[in-house]
Amino acid sequence: MGERRVVVSGGSIAGLSVAFWMRRLGWQVTVIERAPAFRDGGQNVDVRGVAREVLDRMGLFEAVKRQNTTERGTVFVDADGRVTAELPSVGPDGATAELEVLRGDLARTVHDHLPPGVVSVHGDSIETVTDSAEGVRIVTSAGRQIDCDLLVVAEGVRSAT
């Protein structure tokens, strides 16, 4: 049997992490990202619990820690800048996690540590999916036809697929 093929739709934290692991397991991996290039930006993501465990197993915990926003807590202030309420960082499960990282920085760290051989397609997205006993056939908006064994949809909260 040849290498198994997975298509991942969405090239952010979830999609790139799937690509990371599936490539390591020896699959042929194609990531289809709708944006024309790698997407930076986004706000704080708290890394805790199982997310931290996953980063440890990927060997990326230290790399992500270097991107820590160094947030120390949250304060609400009035018009004169006086603190009216405080959400301090208390322990690993406080409002501010031990590891706070911007979405784009986290995604880029995974992106920059992908194993060789992951194919990235930008500026395209899945138009149709046909599931059969032989596998999954995908046709994209740009007219690419890709046959694979597994489709993983990691398009975030506004997923259309």
Ligand X SMILES: Cc1cc2nc3c(=O)[nH]c(=O)nc-3n(C[C@H](O)[C@H](O)[C@H](O)COP(=O)(O)OP(=O)(O)OC[C@H]3O[C@@H](n4cnc5c(N)ncnc54)[C@H](O)[C@@H]3O)c2cc1C
Question: Footprint of ligand X on this chain (CB under 6 A)?
Answer: 9-15, 32-35, 39, 42-46, 103, 125-126, 154-156, 159-161
- The answer to whether 90 touches 124, Cβ cutoff 8 Å, is no
Pairing of strands 28-33, 119-122: parallel
Q: What is the Cα–Cα distance from 17 to 123, expressed in whole angstroms?
A: 20
| Least distance to ligand X, CB of residue 80, Å | 26
Q: Are 154 and 18 in contact (CB under 8 A)?
A: yes
Nearer to ligand X, 1 or 157 (CB): 157
Nearer to ligand X, 23 or 39 (CB): 39
Smallest gap from residue 12 Cβ to ligand X (A): 3
Task: Give the nearest distance from C-beta 84 to ligand X in angstroms.
Answer: 21
Taking CA 37 as the corner, what is the angle to CA 59 and CA 34, rounded to the nearest 5 degrees?
Answer: 100
Nearest to ligand X of 42, 115 (CB atom): 42
| Dihedral angle sign, alpha carbons of residues 64, 65, 67, 70 | positive
Instruction: Decide whether 5 or 12 has the Cβ nearer to ligand X.
Output: 12
- Give me the least distance between CB of 58 and ligand X, in Å please: 15
